Amino acid sequence: FANEGMQRFKEGKYEEAAASLQKALAEFRAPQYLLYIGRAYSKVGKLVEAFGDGLDQAAIRARLST
């Protein structure tokens, strides 16, 4: 999944990249997967998701809306 995700990222297919990298992350929690998931989400304007795994997304949305 990791190789597929990185290839999709290079191709500019950021939604697909994030999905593949999420699968890779489920198998092995590597920091670079989190980094590229965040980058992929930010490229498509999903800033809340880009902030990362395990954060309070409601709090992030509230903060971004101010």
Cα Rg of the chain (Å, integer): 12
pLDDT the model gives residue 10? 98
At 6-57, the pLDDT tens digits run 999 999 999 999 999 999 999 998 889 988 998 999 999 888 787 765 556 6
66: pLDDT strictly greater than 70: no
Q: Quote the CA–CA distance of 10 and 55 in Å, as a whole number.
A: 27
Long-range CB contact pairs, 45-49, < 8 A, 24+: 49/18
Asked whether 5 and 17 are in contact (CB, 8 A), the reply is yes
Task: Identify which of 46, 51, 29 has the alpha carbon closest to the alpha carbon of residue 59.
Answer: 51
Tell me the pTM: 0.75
